[in-house]
Structure formats: C-alpha cells, structure tokens
Amino acid sequence: MGVFEKEFTVQFGDVDMQNRLTLKGAYRLMQEAANCHSDQAGYGINNIEKTDYSWVLYEQRCRIYARPCWNTGLRIKTWSRGAEGLICLRDFEVRTQKGDLVALASTSWLLVSASTQKMVRIPAGMMEEYGTVDRSVFEDPLVHLRPAPEEEKTWEYTVLKRDLDINRHVNNLCYLDFALEALPSGMALEDFDEVEVMYKKAAHLGDRIACFAGRTERGATVSVKEAESGRLLTVLRLQKNGEN
C-alpha cells in the first residue's frame, strides 16, 4: 500500500481564538488519517470486533510550520515505517492543497488486544497489509522523554467520561488539554511549534491526576502523574523553534 493520502478540511474546533490551526487540531487530523489508513489495511476501528486488535499511541513528535485558518483544505500523507519489536513506526506530512507545508510528525504505536487491553505481538502479514516506506520526516529518532529536573505541581484533575476513547482510557488529544491548564503562567500551547509526547501508562475513568510543569531553555515540560502514587503517566515537551 505504501503512502496513504487523504484530503481533510480544518474544522471550527481545530482553530484557536485567532483562527489559526492549533497543535491539538493538527494532532486530531493526523489521528484521523492514521485511523483511515488502518481501516484500508483491514485493522481499523470498524474491524476491532473481528480482529480484537487496537492501536495505542506510545510516542509522538510534531513540528508545525504554518497555521492555516478555518475551512482550509489539507492533504495529509501518512505511512508505516515498519516495526521494531513490539513498536510500529508511522510518519505524517501535512500540506495545504496548494502544497505549502503545514506540519510533520513522527509517531510510534503499540498493538493491544481490545478485549484485554494488553500488548500483543504484531501478527505475521500485518505490516505487508499496511506497506512499508523507508522514509522518516525527521533526521533524529524519537527519544524517551524525562520530566524536567525542576518542576512544580500546577494542576490536578479527575478523569471524566468525556476524556475516554474506544480503548477505554484517556485519549492522547486530552493530554494537550491537560498541558494547556498546567503550563506556567504566561505560557500557552500555541506559543510553541513543536511538541513531543511520551505515554508511559494509561489513565482511566475516575483516576486523579496531578500535572507538574517546568521551564526549559526553549520552552517547557509538563509531566502527568498519578496524584496519590506519583507514578509517571505522560511527559510532554514543548519547544519554540521559530519555524512559523
């Protein structure tokens, strides 16, 4: 199959108060493109009852180059870069219909059993159904993120029903909402044009989480932890690169 390509339109919920595509909006559109690619390969959301397979995002890195306004037509390309053990690699390229670069992203995913929510090995032949393209949008690979050395607790939250996705845990997009609330005073998500996220452990309905934020030379980090145990759930690193 190789590169999967699909047209999308920037929706009202994808833009900020200045009518610019948000990080969350870009993530949402790429998530939808990945779902469509999986559907075409026979492992999409509508196939879960048959296959018992579902994909869980593990790591992602996205760099924004432009922030188009509402109703802008986009063309998203995504492709599998194959598997490394239990981890599957997927990259994205987002452009306007005129060809202007909007975003690049690199991600890694884990395959889980939908019925048990436990990781499973990638079955023989699955990668062939997706096709594999030996092309990475970034020169450097994804790295395991760590919380900043000095972080302060800035926000607490109890996971609600609205935060859950088909895997019955907090959807990856919600962590951008958490980061927005947790960022140090004077910072906003749209101040940054690059975000990296590592999801170490899923959060579920009713979980009490605590967010810790710290400043870095080029931006900030936000760590999401279990409020009582302090166990790390997710780390986000936001940076300003001056690309847009």
- Domains assigned to the chain: 4-130 (3.10.129.10), 152-239 (3.10.129.10)
What pLDDT score does 64 carry? 97
Decide if pLDDT at 244 tops 80. Answer: no
User: What is the percent of the chain where pLDDT is above 70?
Assistant: 98
Name the band, by pLDDT with cuts 50, 70 and 90, for residue 130. Answer: very high
- pLDDT tier, 186 (very low <50, low <70, confident <90, very high otherwise): confident
pLDDT the model gives residue 2? 86
Q: Which residues pair with 101 in a beta bridge?
A: 95
For residue 95, is pLDDT > 90? yes
Q: Is the dihedral of CA 179, 181, 182, 186 positive or negative?
A: positive
Percentage of the chain surpassing pLDDT 90? 85
The confidence score (pLDDT) of residue 232 equals 96
- Could you tell me how many residues make up the chain? 244
* pTM of the predicted protein model: 0.93
Instruction: Tell me the per-residue pLDDT of 189-205, one tens digit each, with 9 for 90 and over.
Output: 989 999 999 999 999 99
27-79 pLDDT, tens digit each: 999 999 999 999 999 999 999 999 999 999 999 999 999 999 999 999 999 99
Cβ–Cβ < 8 Å for 109, 57? yes
pLDDT of 242: 62
Rounded Cα distance, 200 and 152, in Å: 20
Which single residue is written with the structure tokens 């997706």? 130
Query: Helices (DSSP H) in the chain: which residue ranges?
Result: 23-41, 48-51, 126-130, 174-182
